[in-house]
Amino acid sequence: MVAKEDILDRVPGLLEELVRLPARRVKRRADADLVLRVGSHVFVIEAKSSSRAESIAQAADSARSAAAAVSGEAIALVVVPFMGELGGRLCQDEGVSYVDLSGNARIEAPGLRVHVAGQPNQFVRRGRPSSVFAPKSARVSRLLLLDPQRWWRQADLAENANLGAGYVSRICKRLEDDRLIERDDDRAVRPRDPSLLLDAWQSQYDFRRHEIREGHVSARSGQELVQRVVDACDEVGCSYALTGLAAAWLLAPFAGYRLVAVYLKKAPSEKLLSKLKWHEENRGANLWLVRPNDKGVLHGAESVQSMSCVSAVQTYLDLQGMPERADEAAEQLRKERLRWQKTKGRA
Predicted TM-score of the model (pTM): 0.78
Structure confidence by residue, pLDDT tens digits, 288-332: 999 999 999 999 999 999 999 999 999 999 998 798 899 999 999
Instruction: Quote the pLDDT of residue 128.
Output: 47
For residue 206, pLDDT over 80 is answered with yes
Q: Is 119 helix (H, G, I), strand (E, B) or coil?
A: coil
Say how far apart CA 334 and CA 328 lie, in whole Å: 10
Going along the chain from its start, the domains and CATH numbers come out as 4-116 (3.40.1350), 138-202 (1.10.10.10), 208-337 (3.30.460.40)
φ, ψ of residue 226 to 5 degrees: the values are -60, -45
Mean pLDDT for the chain overall: 91
Sort 257 into a burial class: Cβ within 10 Å, 0-12 / 13-18 / 19+.
buried
- Tell me which H or E stretch contains 73: none
Q: Got the DSSP string for 248-259?
A: HHHHS-----S-
Per-residue pLDDT band for 86 (boundaries 50, 70, 90) equals confident
For residue 130, pLDDT over 80 is answered with no
Q: What is the mean pLDDT of residues 224-248?
A: 96
Q: Where are the beta strands (DSSP E) in 39-157?
A: 41-47, 75-80, 97-100, 105-109, 112-116
